[in-house]
Amino acid sequence: MAVRFLYPEFEVVRNQDRCVACRACERQCANEVHRYDPELGCMVADESKCVNCHRCVSLCPTRALKIVKTDHAFRENGNWTGKAITEVYRQAETGGVLLSSMGNPEPYPIYWDKLLINASQVTNPSIDPLREPMETRTFLGKKPGGIQRDAQGRLINNQTPQLELSVPVMFSAMSYGSISYNAHASLARAAQALGTYYNTGEGGLHEDFYQYGPNTIVQVASGRFGVHKDFLEAGAAIEIKMGQGAKPGIGGHLPGQKVGPDISRTRMIPEGSDAISPAPHHDIYSIEDLRQLVFSLKEATEYKKPVIVKIAAVHNVAAIASGVARSGADIIAIDGYRGGTGAAPTRIRDSVGIPIELALAAVDQRLRDEGIRDQVSVVIGGSVRSSADLVKAIALGADAVYIATAALLALGCHLCRTCQTGRCNWGIATQRPDLVRRLNPDLGCQRLVNLVTAWDHELKEMMGGMGINSIEALRGNRLMLRGIGLNQKELDILGVKYAGE
């Protein structure tokens, strides 16, 4: 039926002068775009299946391939864009919810790009991190609020358990299931090598990864998949996932076809069954219930581990964070609307939640206004793309950041945003053994270590430029930021002055 026809989004451009018909592209493409046509004696492509993941392009030995956006177009319309029209066609065809992956790609303002960082000139020397100590070690957890001394007058260590990070960057939650075994192995090993933490997400912890426990944050989410005593005790901290930036207000859905033997065992669910995380935790319908779960988990682990509560950045985030801070949580993680996901309803991903920059500024200020900022650490994610975003986040008030999309990019992700299909050609968001094998955990780990090490270098350079030689002196130091292209309301919420002020 003609009305069903959707013109392919991309075109596969093959330079036949270069193509040697080695068929590497065919072998690499899990979407089955390429095939050899014996009659024509050359490679041909079905571009309707192409997701623009660049796997074939990257592995073509003669650089004969490129993928371009099609210039086929609907009649121009500022309101009814090609995307809007196509989505209507798709829903009219299927009657289903549109699904997407990774973070909100819509052109909303990116506040990181409207903030500028300060540097010292004349009145205060900048510090050269190659010559002087430059400290990025970060502790996450409650501050004690008051000191205690023993009979000899010595200070008693009355701190509650803390997470110690050698660099204020952690890998945020991605479940085993949504990403592959090798992706998890890469993250776990990189976290250990970097002196930071990765996060199990809601998928339990594979038995092979218990050895990385001291660098692992174990997650308890609404489906409670894979949660048991050993799991809780394996991690350095426990994260209660209340929400996710990509899909605030809804739960999760891992399709049954991804639940193979290994995932079935790790998640403690039958093979082939859909893993559905409910939208709310059904034992948390209010803040007092959250407090009970926080303390249940603390009881279960003998008060030896900090508890993180992760929430999505929604409109009332400051008040919610204040409630969380008073609930006994040691760390609040806030996930912005650009945060990634393995699968989310498109409308929710693209329309629900608020930018992390504004959420962070509002939460940090609110906690200070209430005098409780020291009772919790604040970790933000969704999305931090570079060390500059990191510096700005810390200056706005974050203790540390969570990265996930950037980490996946380091592993080879090309942001084709089709994780939900499970056919990730880069071996990341897939459970197909032949595809998973493509991600070498040795290389993956090394690339993650490289990325965070590079950011750490840049962070230190920028700190030194500001005359700051320890990260805690940058935290919440909003005078080190100036806004550009922002209106007064935005400046007020961010708590920064305009450039030139």
Partner 1 sequence: MLKEGQVRIPSGCAISGIFSRKGSAISGERIIRSIAVMHDRSNGLGGGFAGYGIYPDYPDFYALHVFYDSQTAKQECERYLERYFDIINLSKIPTRKSAAIVDEPLIWRYFVAPLPHRLSDSQLDEREFVARRVIRVNSSIEGAYIFSSGKNMGVFKAVGYPEDVGAFYRLEDYAGYCWTAHGRYPTNTPGWWGGAHPFALLDYSVVHNGEISSYDANRRAIEMHGYRCTLQTDTEVITYIIDYLVRRQGLTMEEAARVMAAPFWDTIARMPQQEREEATYLRNAFASFLITGPFSILVGFEGGLMALNDRLKLRSMVVGEKGDLVYVASEEAAIRVIEPELDSIRAPKGGEAVLITLDAQKGGAQ
| Tokens representing residue 364 in the block | 């940090």
For residue 152, state whether it binds partner 1 (rule: CB under 8 A): no
Cβ contacts of 243 within 8 Å, gap of 6 or more:
249, 310, 311, 312, 314, 335
Query: In this chain, which of 434, 479, 485, 498 binds partner 1, going by CB under 8 A?
Result: 479
CB of 334 to partner 1, least distance (A): 18
Nearer to partner 1, 293 or 474 (CB): 474
Using CB under 8 A, pick the residue from 38, 133, 261, 500 that binds partner 1: 133
Specify the stretch interacting with partner 1 by CB under 8 A; choose among 169-177, 286-294, 350-358, 370-378: 370-378
Can you tell me the distance from the alpha carbon of 320 to that of 323, in angstroms, rounded to the nearest whole number?
5
Residues with Cβ within 8 Å of 129's Cβ and at least 6 positions away in sequence, in order, are: 457, 460, 461, 463, 464
426 touches 55 (CB < 8 A): yes
> Is position 160 an interface residue for partner 1 (rule: CB under 8 A)?
no
Type of residue numbered 292? Q
Out of 14, 349, 423, 475, which residue is the one contacting partner 1 (CB under 8 A)?
Answer: 475
d(CA 483, CA 495) in angstroms, rounded, equals: 10
Q: Which of 4, 75, 154, 489 binds partner 1 (CB under 8 A)?
A: 154
To which residue do tokens 């007058």 refer?
153
Q: How many Å apart are CA 13 and CA 280, to the nearest integer?
A: 46
Q: Using DSSP bridges, classify how beta strands 400-403 and 138-140 pair: parallel, antiparallel or unpaired.
A: unpaired
Of 224, 440, 477, 491, which lies in the binding site for partner 1, with binding defined by CB under 8 A?
Answer: 477
Decide whether 427 or 483 has the Cβ nearer to partner 1.
483
Q: What's the min distance (Å) between Cβ of 121 and partner 1? A: 10
The residue range among 36-44, 145-153, 283-291, 426-434 that interacts with partner 1, by the rule CB under 8 A, is 145-153
Structure tokens at 269: 């669910």
Decide: is 78 part of the binding site for partner 1 (CB under 8 A). no
Return the range that interacts with partner 1 (CB under 8 A); candidates 45-53, 81-89, 119-127, 290-298: 119-127
Taking residues 318 to 357 in sequence order and writing x for each that binds partner 1 by CB under 8 A, - otherwise, the string is ----------------------------------------
Q: Report 239-278 residues binding partner 1 (CB under 8 A).
A: none
Enter the DSSP assignment of 336.
Answer: -
Asked if 458 and 394 touch (Cβ cutoff 8 Å), the reply is no
Going 355 to 358 to 364 to 366, the CA torsion angle's sign is: negative
- For the beta carbon of residue 66, count every other beta carbon within 10 angstroms: 14
Interacting residues toward partner 1 by CB under 8 A: 120, 123-125, 127, 132-133, 135, 137, 139, 143-144, 146-147, 149, 154-155, 157, 159, 162, 368, 371, 373-374, 466-470, 472-480
